[in-house]
Structure 1
Amino acid sequence: MRPSLRDDGRTIGIIGGTGSMGALFGQIFEDAGCTVEVIGRAPASEYRGLAGRCSVVLVTVPISATEEVIRTVAPVLEKDQLITDLTSIKEKPVAAMLESGAQVIGLHPLFGPNIATIENQKLIMTPARADPETRLWLQGIFEEAGMQIHLSTPGAHDRAVAVTQGIIHLQSIAMAQMLRNMNCNLEELLPFATPNAHATFAFMARTLSQDSNLYGGILQGNPSVEETISAYLKAVKEVGEMILQHDPEVFREEFDKDAVLSASFQKEAIPLTDRLLDLVVIEW
C-alpha cells in the first residue's frame, strides 16, 4: 500500500532522477528520511507505475518534455499524493499538474547541480493546491538542508525570472553575437579588459558553455519573456540614442535617475562586487 503524505516513511518518486539535478534532490530527500525511487528515460507505463506507488512525484526533465511527462502521470495521481517539478518556468507546468487529482507545488531551484554546497542556495516554491501541512513538510525538508525558501505564485515567478534569468541570458547571448558580427577575437580583447569587463566576459562564456536547450527553454518557454525583451530593447535604443547625442547634462540626468533604482542595493552590491573583482584580478 502506498504511504500517504500524512504517513511516516513517505516515498519520493523522481522522474528524471538519473540526471544531476534529480540525483541532488534525491539525496536531499534521503537525508530527510524518505525512501527515494528514481527513473530515467522510460516508457510512459513505467512513469505511471512509479507515480502510482509513491507519495510524492518529482518531475525533473528538460523543459520541452516537462508538460508531456506531467500529463502522462496525472491520471493516476490522487488527492493524498503530491506532484512537483523543478522547471525554470512555472505557469505552464503548474497548470499541467493541476489537471491531476494530486496536491501541487511547483519548485524552481535557483542553482545548478554542480554547487559546492546547498547551504544558502535559493529555492522558489509556488504552492498551487496543497494542504498547509504538506507545504510546511516539504518546505521544512529544504530549510533543514540549508536552502533559502521564497514563496510565490506561478505568474509572479515567471514575470520575475523573465528579468532575473531571461534578460541576463539575453545579454550574454547578444554580447557574443555582437562580438561575432564584428569579427572580434575574445582572446585579443582580454588584455584590454578591466576586472569588471573580464568578469562580464567570463559570465558570458559560462552561459554559452551550457546546454542550449536549457536556455532556449527558459527564454522561449516563459510567456513573460516577450514583454520583458521588448522593454529591454526599447531601453537599449533609448540609451544608445542618448549617448550619441553627446550631451553630458542629459546623460547625467538619466544616469542619476537610473541610479535611484539600485540605491537600496548599493550598500550590499559594492563590497560584494569588490570581493568578486579582487578574485578576478588574483585568478587573472
Structure 2
Amino acid sequence: MKMLIIGGTGDTGQWFVKFFQSRGFDVHVWGKNHRLDIAKKLNVPFAEDLDETIRTSDIVMISVPINRTGDMIAQTAPKMKSGSLLMDVTSIKMGAVAAMEKYTPGDVEFLGTHPMFGPGISDIRGQTVILTPTTRCKHWLPLIKKIYADSGAHIEIITPGEHDEIMRVVQGLTHFAYISIGTTLETIDFDVAKSRRFMSPVYEIMLDFVGRILAQNPYLYAMIQTNPQVNNLHDIYIAQCSQLSDLIKRGDVEGFVQKMKLAAVHFKNTESAQRRSDKLIHNKIVEYETLIQQTGRHCAVKHLYTNKIHTGTLTGVTPLTITLQKNKKRTTLKIENIKLLRDEEYLRWKKEHIPNVTKDISVYVPEGSNPNIIKQIIQQSCPDTINNTGIIDTYLHQDKQGITYRIMMIAENHKQTMQQIAELLEGIGCTLR
C-alpha cells in the first residue's frame, strides 16, 4: 500500500515514516526544503513530482506546522484518487477537519488524528492516539484504528470539537503554565543549575518538565496556543494567579486555604494523583540507589542519546553524575542521560561486540565419565564469558581417555576464564595434560 507523508522529512514526519515502513507500507516523503539526504537516510523515495505522487497514493498524511496545515490540505485534497484517505496529525482538529471536509472530493475519505506523543519516543506501545472521524471515514477508520491498536497504542475516538475543548487544557493551559515558569526564571535571572543542589523530588520533576517544554520547537508551542479555545483560558489562568497572589498579599491565609480546598474537591481523586507521583519519585530514588549498590563493580551503561555503551568500574555516584573507570581512563556521565544495563543485557552486548578468542584445553577424564557432560559443565561454569564449547579430539593413552575441548570465549579477561576452567576440571577429577 502506497503512502505519501507530506512533511515526512520533519521530526514528526520521520517518526511516522519509520512506523508505517516497518508495517509494510510503501512510504514516500515530501518536504518543502527538499531534504533528499533525509529521504536517503530513511531509505524511502522523495516525491520529486508531488502532484503525481499524490494522485497515485492510497494514503496521504499531512505532517506540517499547524499554521500551514489548512493550506496544504487545500492544495493536496483535490488531487487525490478515488477511494484514498487523507489524514493529518496536527494538535488542533476543528480547523484541519473542516479544511479536509471542504476540499476533499466526495469519493475520498479523510480522518483527523492527533498522536499524543513527540518524535522522541522509541515505541508507540502505551501511547495515546486520538482519532476524530466524521461520517466520511467508514472504510479507512477500522484499518487505521487496527494498525495503531495492534502496535500497542491506546485509541480514543472523539469529535473534533471535543478534542479541541480538551486540548485547550491538556496542551494549551499546561504548556502555558510551564512556559510562564520558564520565562519567570529568566526574568529574575535565577540560577537553575545551582538550584538543583538544593532540590526536593517534586521540584526536580517540575523543573525537568519545564526544561522539557522549553527544549522543544518554540514555533510549534506558539501554534498550539493559537487554538481559539485557549485564548480566554489565558485570561482565566492569569486572573486566578492574581487572586491567589492578592490573598497572600492581604495576609488572608484562610482565603488561600479555602481556594486550595475547593480546587482539591473539584480535582476529585487527589489520592490517586499522589500515589502516581509517589511512584514517579520512587522510581528516581530506586535508580539512584541501584547505582549506589553498583559502586566498585564492573558495569555497563547505555547513553540514551548516542546509544553508545560505556563500560568500566563504577567508582563514583553523585545525585547528578556517575564516574566509570576503565584502565586509567575516567568517564563522567550525567545520570539523566544513561540507563544501567541489566546483567542479561550486558552479557548479550558483550557477546555481540567484544572480540572472541578460541582456546583449547586437553585433559584425561576420570574412568567411566561422560565427556559430553563435562563439556556442558564447562559451558555452564562461565556463562558470562563462554560462547561455545566443543570436543575436537578424543584419544587413549595408557588406558586413560583423553579429551581436547575447544572453548570460544570473550577475549576480555580470557586468561582468568581459562584458569577457572582448569581449576574446575581438576576439581572434578580430570588431569591436565
Q: Give the TM-score, by structure 1 length.
A: 0.88
Q: Which residue of 1 aligns with 2:258?
A: 253
Q: Which residue of 2 aligns with 1:124?
A: 130
Q: Which residue of 2 aligns with 1:35?
A: 26
Q: Which residue of 2 aligns with 1:233?
A: 238
Equivalent in 53, 74, 77 of residue 74 of structure 1: 77
Q: Which residue of 2 aligns with 1:105?
A: 111
Identity of aligned residues (%): 29
Residue 170 (structure 1) aligned with residue 176 (structure 2): yes
Task: Report the aligned-residue RMSD.
Answer: 2.2
CA positional deviation for 1:138: 1.0
CA positional deviation for 1:142: 0.7
SS in 2 for 1:119: coil
Residue 53 (structure 1) aligned with residue 56 (structure 2): yes
* Cα distance in 2 between the residues matched to 1:45 and 1:223: 36
Farther off after superposition, 178-187 or 200-209: 178-187
Which amino acid letter does the alignment assign opposite residue 231 of structure 1?
A: I
Q: Which residue of 2 aligns with 1:275?
A: 279
Q: 1:14 touches 1:59 (CA, 8 Å); kept in 2? A: yes
Which amino acid letter does the alignment assign opposite residue 243 of structure 2?
A: E
CA positional deviation for 1:131: 3.5
CA positional deviation for 1:267: 4.1
Cα deviations by residue, 1:161-219 (Å, 9 ceiling, x for unpaired)? 11111111111221122122222221233333321112111111111111111111111
Q: Which residue of 2 aligns with 1:6?
A: none
* Cα distance in 2 between the residues matched to 1:74 and 1:88: 19
Q: Which residue of 1 aligns with 2:146?
A: 140
Equivalent in 196, 211, 221 of residue 215 of structure 1: 221
Using CA pairs under 8 Å that are at least 6 residues apart, name the structure with larger relative contact order, 1 or 2: 1
SS in 2 for 1:41: coil
Which amino acid letter does the alignment assign opposite residue 183 of structure 1?
A: D
Residue 15 (structure 1) aligned with residue 6 (structure 2): yes
* Cα distance in 2 between the residues matched to 1:243 and 1:129: 52
Q: 2:112 touches 2:133 (CA, 8 Å); kept in 1? A: yes
Cα deviations by residue, 1:238-272 (Å, 9 ceiling, x for unpaired)? 222223332333233222211112223x3432222
* Cα distance in 2 between the residues matched to 1:81 and 1:120: 29
Q: 2:247 touches 2:253 (CA, 8 Å); kept in 1? A: no
CA positional deviation for 1:232: 1.1
Larger helix proportion, structure 1 or 2? Answer: 1
CA positional deviation for 1:155: 1.8
Q: Cα 1:267–1:119, aligned 2, differ >3 Å: closer, same or farther?
A: farther
Matched ranges for 1:178-217 at <5 A? 178-217=184-223
Q: Cα 1:42–1:68, aligned 2, differ >3 Å: closer, same or farther?
A: farther
CA positional deviation for 1:32: 3.5
Q: Cα 1:157–1:268, aligned 2, differ >3 Å: closer, same or farther?
A: same
Q: Across the two proteins, how many residue pairs are aligned to each other?
A: 273
Larger strand proportion, structure 1 or 2? Answer: 2
CA positional deviation for 1:229: 1.1
Q: 1:103 touches 1:129 (CA, 8 Å); kept in 2? A: no
Q: Cα 1:160–1:189, aligned 2, differ >3 Å: closer, same or farther?
A: same
CA positional deviation for 1:109: 0.6
Q: 1:48 touches 1:72 (CA, 8 Å); kept in 2? A: no
* Cα distance in 2 between the residues matched to 1:203 and 1:59: 28
Which amino acid letter does the alignment assign opposite residue 130 of structure 2?
A: I
Q: 1:70 touches 1:97 (CA, 8 Å); kept in 2? A: yes
Q: Cα 1:143–1:129, aligned 2, differ >3 Å: closer, same or farther?
A: same
Cα deviations by residue, 1:128-181 (Å, 9 ceiling, x for unpaired)? 343433211111111011111111122221121111111111112211221222
Q: 2:57 touches 2:81 (CA, 8 Å); kept in 1? A: no
Structure having the higher Rg: 2
CA positional deviation for 1:78: 4.6
Q: Cα 1:22–1:194, aligned 2, differ >3 Å: closer, same or farther?
A: same
Q: Cα 1:195–1:34, aligned 2, differ >3 Å: closer, same or farther?
A: same
Q: Give the TM-score, by structure 2 length.
A: 0.59
Q: 2:111 touches 2:137 (CA, 8 Å); kept in 1? A: no
Which ranges of structure 2 fall in alignment gaps of 5 or more residues? 35-46, 289-318, 321-433
* Cα distance in 2 between the residues matched to 1:100 and 1:235: 43
